[in-house]
Amino acid sequence: MAEALEKDMIPCENCSEQVNLDDWSIHVRHCFHGEKKQVENSTRAITNEPIIDGIPCEFCDTQVNLDDWESHSKQCADTHNSRIKKLKNMKDESIVELIPCEYCDAQINVNDWESHSKQCVNSSKLCTSNVKTDGNKLMDALIPCEYCGSQVSLDNWTWHTNQCADADRRRVENIIKQNEAHPDANLIPCDICKESFVFQDFAAHQTECQLKQASSVFTPNALHEQTANGLFSLPRHWDQSSPHNLSRYTLQPDSEEYKFVADNFHKTLTSNEIVQIERIQNRRK
C-alpha cells in the first residue's frame, strides 16, 4: 500500500515537495503564484513601496483588494461578455477578431472562444492524465502542435490541431481578401526575419526562412557518433533537436543506412516525437 502511494507522488519543480498526482495541478498553480507574490513583496519592501495584499482578476489581471474582489470580478465579467457579444454581431466577415483565452492565453477567434474555453477548463481538470507511470519511470504524454508549437496532451491533440488548422485557414482567407481589395498596398511581414513580401511570394519565403532557422540552431550530439560496423554514422537529419527535418528525410528501404536507422529508431527519438512524426505522415497520405 505504501509503495502504491509513493508511485502516485511526483516532485514539484518549484519547491521539490512530493505532491499527489490528483493534487499536482492545483499545487503547482498555488506554489508558483505564492513565489511570484513573495518576490513582488520583497521588491516593494526594497523600494519602500506599500505591500498590497490583493487577488489578481481573472479577466484584466489587476490586483484587487479581497473586499472589492467579488464586485470587481462581476463587473469585469460583464464587460468581457458584452465585448464578445458585440464582436459576434459584427457583419463584416473579413474582420477576424482574436481574443486571449483566460486559461491558456492563446489568441482565439471570437466565434470559437466559448467552445475553446470549455475545452480548456476540461483539459486543466484532466492535466494529471498527461503524466503516466511506467514502472518507476514517469513518461510525458505531451505532443507539440505543428501549427502553434504548444505542448498538447495526446487525448486533446486531434481537437487542438483541428482548431489551430481552422484558425490558420481563416487567417489566410482574411489575408487573401485584404490582398484582393488592395493588391498593390499589402505586404505581409515574415514572422522570422521581419521582412515584408507580397502575398504570392509569402508562403514560399516563410517556408525557406523556417528551414534556415532550423538549420541555424542545429547542434550535433552523441547520436552522430554511433556507427554500424564502422561503415557510417547516424545521419545528421535524425538529430532530435531538429524536428522539421525528421519528416522530410527519405531513405531507400533496401539500403544499409535505412536498416541501421530502423533498428535504432526507438533509441534516437522520444515516444512523443515518434507519435508526432507518424501523425504528420498520415495526414500527408
Q: Where are the alpha helices (DSSP H) in 142-198?
A: 157-181
| 106 found inside a domain | no
Taking only the tens place, the pLDDT of each residue in 109-148 is 767 777 777 777 666 555 544 444 443 333 446 777 777 7
Amino acid at 199: F
| 252 found inside a domain | yes
Considering the domain architecture, whether residues 197 and 253 belong to the same structural domain is answered as no
Q: 212 lies in which domain range?
A: 186-216
Considering the domain architecture, whether residues 283 and 245 belong to the same structural domain is answered as yes
Q: Which helix (H) or strand (E) holds 142?
A: strand 142-144
Q: Where does a domain end: 216, 235, 258? A: 216
Q: Where does a domain end: 216, 233, 263? A: 216
Considering the domain architecture, whether residues 223 and 283 belong to the same structural domain is answered as yes
Domain count, the chain: 2
Taking only the tens place, the pLDDT of each residue in 210-254 is 777 655 544 444 444 444 344 444 454 444 444 444 444 556 667
Residue 176 backbone phi and psi in degrees, to 5: -65, -45
Q: Where does a domain end: 216, 234, 256? A: 216
Q: 3-state DSSP call for residue 31?
A: helix
Report the alpha-carbon distance of residue 59 to residue 101 in Å, rounded: 10
Considering the domain architecture, whether residues 197 and 223 belong to the same structural domain is answered as no
Report the chain's mean pLDDT, rounded to a whole number.
Answer: 65
Q: Is the pLDDT of residue 105 over 80?
A: no
